[in-house]
Structure 1
Amino acid sequence: MEHRGLDAQGYIEREGDLGRVPAGYRPVVAAARSRIAEAFGRRLHSAYLYGSVPRGTARPGDSDLDLLLALQHEPTHEDRDIAEVLGRGLDEDFDVIDGAGILLYSKDRLLSEQERYDLGWFLACLCTPLLGSDLAEHLPRYRPDGLLARETNGDLAAALPSWRARAAAARTPAEYRKLSRLFARRLVRTGFTLVMPRWGGWTSDLLESAEAFGQYYPERAAQMRAAAGVALSPSEDPEVLRTYIEDLGPWLADEYTARHGTKSPRQPA
């Protein structure tokens, strides 16, 4: 039987490990660790890496550095400004990464019942501890079921209006590249979690995700494979954005809602 990212009991295994960070990325990871500690001090509870770098699949010059910070309190405007400056500095100082993104949440929100199957699952299964005590010790184990599917990606329909506005406002090749990667990643991941309970496992690999989706929706398989390609190598063609917001996105949102329902409402952050 295929492994498919699960342990012997059928729970999603935590992906990523600092030992898998490619040698070329170790300096930027070390810099991130020291700069985060210096910038946030006692306001920081813990910090985590996620994405291709701790999975060991990052591509020099193409992959970005993804970080999640758990703060002792709700993030303030000052915290977000600090994180933006920190991320920009890492991007400017290390050519091996193509951007650095930093998510900020309070530890209480990450551990809340409301976020148990969204941010909590994300931290426990997709994030690699970098600094501080691991909040995953206070979270349950997770299976690739319909509840997880609903709470992780059951809000694509709500995102589409803002996608349309952002696409309409884009003017430059750099803006088109940024949006194409953002939208394509979200579509491929949503496509995968749509079929995740039937596929019976977990993967963060975008190409594998697209292939898993295509097993259940062959009529959309080529579109999803193409989206996975754009997620890895962004496009400057505005037509790519148009197909996402007018065709693949709306179809996927409708199919997702029909199969899994919509994500539970959240309080404003």
Structure 2
Amino acid sequence: MILEKVIDRVVIQSEYKDFVDKYIDQILTEFKGKIHSIYMCGSIPKGAARPFESDADFTVLCVNPNDIDYERLSVIKDRLLEEYPVVTKIDTIICSIDDVLSKPSEWGFWVKIICVCMYGQDIGEKVPSIIISPAFILDLNTETKNEVDHRRRLLSNANDHTMKTRLIKGYSKRLIRALYSLVLEDTGVWEDDMFKMKNAILNYCEIDSALVNYLYACYLDSNHVLVEEFLRIADEVYSYFEKALNTMAASKTSFD
């Protein structure tokens, strides 16, 4: 089964059109000649953004990511956030064309399936079709352990309440995405709607539903979540995920 693109057409609400156009224009002006293409994912290009609640997610492709100065990028972000308060946050990922083409199950998946091209030539069209299989799911999760460990360390050392709530929300989302990857062969599609992800996990995974519902609740509202309790449950969820991934790897090996 071939994995299809999450966003098949761009539908940007009127509240965000000027913001998106201005962000792209300023990135291209600031880094003239260094940008190959610009992509978006999430609620804004889907036309499902909520003013004063939704953030903006961009991915910028270039030949050499070192050409992009993050301090200059931050100035653009801060300026636009002040001008367009309907946007809560701007995230920008920088990656190389080579990464997308040489890592089809990582950056290739991100650009081809998750993102939609807003400017330039869509390099995702050069990424081979992605076949849903145990091999793909295993490749997709190559960096999951490192990412989870990193998020755990950040949360364990966080002192600021605002930072704690943001980290818990992001950590919850990352674990839900990891669990969802386990059921791709059952669903046949990549969801970016967390509610649909949660329901698919409950339908197809044997994990304790209370753990999944807890993560989803933390994703929705992490304001009053106790860090120690969250970390304990996050560890339990990741332990389940790791065992399921190892079982998948062992099964794949037996069939190779």
Matched residues in 1 for 2:129 and 2:183: separation?
20
The answer to whether structure 1 residue 98 and structure 2 residue 88 are counterparts is yes
CA contact (8 A) 2:207 2:240 kept: no
Q: 1:121 to 1:160 in 2, by over 3 A?
A: closer
TM-score with structure 1 setting the length: 0.83
Q: 1:126 to 1:161 in 2, by over 3 A?
A: closer
Matched residues in 1 for 2:243 and 2:75: separation?
38
Structure 1 counterpart of 2:65: 74
Structure 1 counterpart of 2:254: none
CA contact (8 A) 1:188 1:224 kept: yes
SS for the counterpart of 2:31 is helix
Q: Give 1:219 shift.
A: 4.3
2:101 aligns with one of 103, 107, 111: 111
Structure 1 counterpart of 2:134: 146
Matched residues in 2 for 1:236 and 1:176: separation?
10
Matched residues in 2 for 1:252 and 1:237: separation?
22
Matched residues in 2 for 1:219 and 1:152: separation?
20
Q: Give 1:170 shift.
A: 0.9
Matched residues in 1 for 2:24 and 2:170: separation?
25
SS for the counterpart of 1:95 is coil
1:58 aligns with one of 49, 52, 55: 49
Q: What do residues 86-142 of structure 1 show as CA deviations (whole Å, max 9, x unaligned)?
A: 333333332212211000011122211xx1111111101111111111102211122
Matched residues in 1 for 2:206 and 2:249: separation?
20
Structure 1 counterpart of 2:37: 46
Query: Letter of the aligned partner of 1:161 in structure 2?
Result: D
Q: Which ranges in structure 1 are unaligned for 5 or more consecutive residues?
A: 1-9, 262-269
- Number of matched residues? 249
2:150 aligns with one of 150, 159, 162: 162
Query: Letter of the aligned partner of 1:150 in structure 2?
Result: L
Q: Which ranges in structure 2 are unaligned for 5 or more consecutive residues?
A: 251-256
CA contact (8 A) 1:163 1:245 kept: no
CA contact (8 A) 2:53 2:88 kept: yes
Matched residues in 2 for 1:38 and 1:17: separation?
28
1:235 aligns with one of 223, 229, 232: 223
SS for the counterpart of 2:37 is strand
SS for the counterpart of 1:207 is helix
Matched residues in 2 for 1:253 and 1:89: separation?
42
SS for the counterpart of 1:41 is coil
1:202 aligns with one of 178, 190, 196: 190
Q: What do residues 206-225 of structure 1 show as CA deviations (whole Å, max 9, x unaligned)?
A: 11111111112354223223
Q: Give 1:244 shift.
A: 4.5
SS for the counterpart of 2:69 is helix
Q: What do residues 163-183 of structure 1 show as CA deviations (whole Å, max 9, x unaligned)?
A: 332112111221112101210
Structure 2 counterpart of 1:211: 199
Identity %: 20
Query: Letter of the aligned partner of 1:24 in structure 2?
Result: E
Structure 2 counterpart of 1:15: 6
CA contact (8 A) 1:45 1:70 kept: yes
TM-score with structure 2 setting the length: 0.87
1:252 aligns with one of 238, 241, 244: 241
CA contact (8 A) 1:65 1:97 kept: yes
Matched residues in 1 for 2:37 and 2:238: separation?
35
Q: What do residues 180-230 of structure 1 show as CA deviations (whole Å, max 9, x unaligned)?
A: 121011011111101111333321111111111111235422322332343
Query: Letter of the aligned partner of 2:32 in structure 1?
Result: G
Structure 2 counterpart of 1:86: 76
Structure 2 counterpart of 1:31: 22
Q: Give 1:26 shift.
A: 1.7
CA contact (8 A) 2:211 2:233 kept: no
Query: Letter of the aligned partner of 2:132 in structure 1?
Result: P
Q: What do residues 22-51 of structure 1 show as CA deviations (whole Å, max 9, x unaligned)?
A: 222222212211111112110000000111
Matched residues in 2 for 1:91 and 1:250: separation?
38
